[in-house]
Amino acid sequence: MKIEKKISDGKMTVVVAGNVDTTTAPEFSAALDLEGVNEATIDLSGVSYMSSVGLRCLLVAKKTMTAQGGEIKLKGVQKPVKDVLDMTGFSSFFEFI
Amino acid sequence: MTFALDKYLKFLPASAAVVAVEFLSGVASCVICGQIIGEDGLSALNLMQPVANAVTFLALLAGIGTSVLFATEMGRFDKRRASEYATQGFWTVLILGSLSMLVLALVRHFAAGAFGVTGAVLVGLKEYWLWFLPCALLEPLSVYLSSLCHADGDPKTCISAYIVQFAATCAFSVWLTLRMGFAGCALGTIIGHVLAVAVLCMHFVRKENNIEYAWHFSVCDSWRICRCAIGDASSRIFEGALILALNLYVVARFGEGMLPVLSVVVVVLSAVEFFDGVPRAMQPLVSVYVGEGNDRLVFRVLRYAEILAFAEGAALALLLILFPQFAVSMVGITDPGLVGEAMTAVRIVAAGLVGLAFMALFNSYWTYIAKESLALALTACTMFVAPVVLFVAFGEVFGVVGVWAALAIAPFAAIGAFAFFICAKWGRKELPHFLDWRRAARIRVFDLVLSPKAICGVSEKIRKFLAIRRGFGRDKADLTALLVEETLMLVKDHNKGRKTRAEISLDFSRSDELRLIVRDDGEIFNLTDTDAEVSSLRAYLVSNLMVFLPAKRNMTITGFNRNIFQI
């Protein structure tokens, strides 16, 4: 899995490529450190596979952002990942762009 | 180590121990009667041996047949039919046991008289026979229960039952024979059977028990049960017939002086009973895989059994060739001239043990894959026809050494003849496994010990395999990979701190669908239960996946979890 992260003026963009599974999720989780961030965009256009540990990272990020009064957006979500989000009912928690 | 090998090796010690205890229980009464009552006791018990063999044959017929059909139906996920076979097996035991008890009771005086013995031996024989009658019902019942427990993946209960039976038979037989004579010896055997049945019934209160009974009676099912096991069960009958034929020929041709040497040869030939341990250990696995139509795994288990059968046969043969005096001392030959002849005989006959080990293996294997006629023919040919024809021919040409050589050559000759017959009738491809290789080629198996790295590795391999090698759409490949990762991680979560093995089968043999079979040896847990308690995000996702997948089933069999999904 490859992760690129940029932060400027409280806006964070994380570009992820590869699979987010049990073994790669800790790296993904570490990338979603949202301290001092008030707007986060997670680009998942390079992710075709995400298991429950990936979902958990997204949910924790969402919770942190809500507590900080910010918002989180998911960009370029592929169908397999969207299906998992839909299946679990978590789609409604995120804004998709 | 694969999942199948791990399970096979877990069944093996219990099967080997059960076979050994079965054999020792059989000879215990003879030894006890001989030691306490004397030569009259030994003679009477020896005369009872054919009757005991006939009862064992009926017991194996009902026991093996029920367990094979039960496990095969469980393999097909048809629990109702499996329960019907379990029930019908019970009725079969009752019918065969009651009938044989009745027949033995009716013919007791006539048959005992027909043996041509008089005096104390005749009185003892009749007395033992009378007290032996309940065993005609109890032995089939205990064999039926132990076979079912074994097929249901509970070797511990089986081995406990046989140890209790052996210990109780020995202890009570000694105690009661000292007080009651022949009647006491038979009573000790009865107590042993009753205690074994009591221990085996403990399986029904275990959490892992899958044996259920149904309101069902069908004469056709009884016939199927008996027909299924006829090849495997008849080995005792043919073994008895061979020993009888050998006795008659050797005494007639070489005189009674050769009988002590023959008794050593009989001890070596009885090793075939020990060789049943290897195939018996594979029965639960093979029957389940046969039921699933998973020919790749049937072949895998059979390959393990073939290696073990060869190793077992070769090791025993080598041991007897190097140390024949071990077998000679068992029958107590002291005459120096006879000791030399007996050692030569043991060395020669031992050379055929590998062939006997393979005969025992394929006889059982063909029984498990519903080739019962072939199994019966192989047993008859290896255990009776080939040795009798060869020992008469060789005996006439080469003398008594020719008889022993014939016994060593006979198993290989019979197996060779069968290989030729199978090639001629079904083609070389079928030899000797009778598996659908085209179907086996459409099944892919992955084995792993559950760890996050191994699970993700297998999940990724499956995803790539489906997408690249099988041309599946990305949606289907990703869904399958997700299902594998989430279900196995959930199983791992349920078995924290415990080494858990899993086996994944991808079955493409049905053109329009993918069957995913997930097996694990962790705690009994139904992955497909949509009402299962959700205690983590993973459990929540698995629960949602189960709602999403319309075709899924769970069935615990032979002591491990099995879940099947159609994708």
Residue B502 lies in a domain: yes
Output B337-345 pairs: Cβ under 8 A, ≥24 positions apart.
B338/B257, B338/B260, B338/B261, B341/B261, B341/B400, B342/B260, B342/B261, B342/B264, B344/B401, B344/B404, B345/B261, B345/B264, B345/B265, B345/B404
List Cα–Cα distances, A41 to A25, A70, B195, B506, in angstroms.
18, 11, 71, 38
Number of domains into which chain B is organized: 3
The distance from CA B23 to its chain's CA centroid, rounded to whole angstroms, is: 14
Q: Please tell me the predicted confidence (pLDDT) of residue B556.
A: 76
Same domain, B215 and B284: no
pLDDT for B135 beyond 90: yes
Asked whether the beta carbons of B394 and B402 are under 8 A apart, the reply is: yes
**Cis status of the peptide bond prior to B432, with omega within 30 of 0:** yes
pLDDT for B118 beyond 90: no
Residue B12 lies in a domain: no
Q: A53 contacts in B (CB within 8 Å)?
A: 538
Q: A51 contacts in B (CB within 8 Å)?
A: 482, 485-486, 489, 541
Indicate the residue among B177, B202, B233 that finishes a domain: B233
Same domain, B218 and B272: no
| B538 to A80: CB separation less than 8 angstroms, yes or no | no
pLDDT for B462 beyond 80: yes
Mean pLDDT score, B406-420: 91
Question: How far apart, in whole angstroms, are the C-alpha atoms of residue B563 and residue B488?
Answer: 11
List Cα–Cα distances, B330 to A87, B264, B325, B339, B363, in angstroms.
71, 8, 9, 12, 29
Residue B8 lies in a domain: no
Two structure tokens written together for A5:
């992260």
Residue B482: closest CA among chain A residues belongs to which residue?
A51
Question: How far apart, in whole angstroms, are the C-alpha atoms of residue B57 and residue B61?
Answer: 6
Asked whether the beta carbons of B37 and B182 are under 8 A apart, the reply is: yes
The distance from CA B271 to its chain's CA centroid, rounded to whole angstroms, is: 15
β-sheet with B515-520: strand ranges across: B443-449, B501-507, B515-520, B561-566, B552-554
Mean pLDDT score, A65-93: 87
Mind listing the pLDDT tens digit for each residue in B3-49?
999 999 988 888 887 788 777 776 777 778 877 887 777 777 777 87
Residue B127 lies in a domain: yes
Same domain, B287 and B221: no
Residue in B452, B463, B544 nearest the CB of A23: B452
Residue B190 lies in a domain: yes
Strands (E), B391-487: 443-449
Indicate the residue among B397, B414, B435 that finishes a domain: B435
pLDDT for A97 beyond 90: no
Q: B475 contacts in A (CB within 8 Å)?
A: 79-80, 83
Two structure tokens written together for A27:
């790296």
Q: In terms of Cα–Cα distance, which of B87, B184, B197, B63 is closest to B138?
A: B197
Same domain, B290 and B424: yes
Question: How far apart, in whole angstroms, are the C-alpha atoms of residue B74 and residue B69?
Answer: 9
pLDDT for B512 beyond 80: no
Q: Please tell me the predicted confidence (pLDDT) of residue B369.
A: 87
Same domain, B362 and B507: no
Same domain, B166 and B278: no
pLDDT for B103 beyond 80: yes
Q: What is the CATH number for B469? A: 3.30.565.10
Q: What average pLDDT is seen over chain B? A: 87
pLDDT band at A39 (very low <50, low <70, confident <90, very high): confident
Domains defined for chain A, CATH in brackets: 2-96 (3.30.750.24)
Closest-CA distance of chain B to residue A9, Å: 33
Same domain, B420 and B556: no
Angle between helices B295-322 and B336-350 (to 10 degrees): 160
Q: B540 contacts in A (CB within 8 Å)?
A: 52, 88
Same domain, B187 and B220: yes
How many other β-carbons are positioned within 10 Å of the β-carbon of residue B19? 19
Indicate the residue among B420, B435, B450 that finishes a domain: B435
Q: Is B450 at the interface with chain A, CB within 8 A?
A: no
Q: Is B425 at the interface with chain A, CB within 8 A?
A: no
Which of B133-142, B470-479, B507-516, B538-547 holds the top average pLDDT? B133-142
Q: Please tell me the predicted confidence (pLDDT) of residue A80.
A: 86
pLDDT for B331 beyond 70: no
| B537 to A23: CB separation less than 8 angstroms, yes or no | no
Same domain, B213 and B258: no
Q: Residue B204 carries which DSSP code?
A: G
Mean pLDDT score, B107-122: 80
| A53 to B538: CB separation less than 8 angstroms, yes or no | yes
Strand partners, B515: B507, B566
List Cα–Cα distances, B560 to B291, B359, B399, B520, in angstroms.
16, 30, 55, 6
Same domain, B429 and B450: no
Q: Which domain holds residue B48?
A: 17-233
pLDDT band at B107 (very low <50, low <70, confident <90, very high): confident
Mean pLDDT score, A42-58: 89
Mean pLDDT score, B503-515: 83
| A51 to B485: CB separation less than 8 angstroms, yes or no | yes
pLDDT band at B539 (very low <50, low <70, confident <90, very high): confident
Pairing of strands A71-75, A95-96: parallel
Residue in B463, B475, B544 nearest the CB of A87: B544
Q: Please tell me the predicted confidence (pLDDT) of residue B332.
A: 66
| B475 to A52: CB separation less than 8 angstroms, yes or no | no
Which of B162-176, B242-256, B461-475 holds the top average pLDDT? B162-176
Residue in B478, B541, B548 nearest the CB of A48: B478
The distance from CA B417 to its chain's CA centroid, rounded to whole angstroms, is: 25
| Pairs of CB atoms within 8 A across A/B | 54
Pairing of strands B501-507, A95-96: unpaired
Residue in B456, B479, B481 nearest the CB of A23: B456
Interface confidence (ipTM) of the complex? 0.87
Question: How far apart, in whole angstroms, are the C-alpha atoms of residue B2 and residue B4?
Answer: 5
Residue B11 lies in a domain: no
pLDDT band at B310 (very low <50, low <70, confident <90, very high): very high
Residue B6 lies in a domain: no
Q: Please tell me the predicted confidence (pLDDT) of residue B114.
A: 77
Residue B238 lies in a domain: no
Q: Please tell me the predicted confidence (pLDDT) of residue B478.
A: 87
Asked whether the beta carbons of A39 and A68 are under 8 A apart, the reply is: no
Write the single-letter amino acid at B354. V
How many other β-carbons are positioned within 10 Å of the β-carbon of residue B352? 26
Same domain, B154 and B256: no
Same domain, B123 and B218: yes
pLDDT for B351 beyond 70: yes
Q: Please tell me the predicted confidence (pLDDT) of residue B159.
A: 86
The distance from CA B409 to its chain's CA centroid, rounded to whole angstroms, is: 25
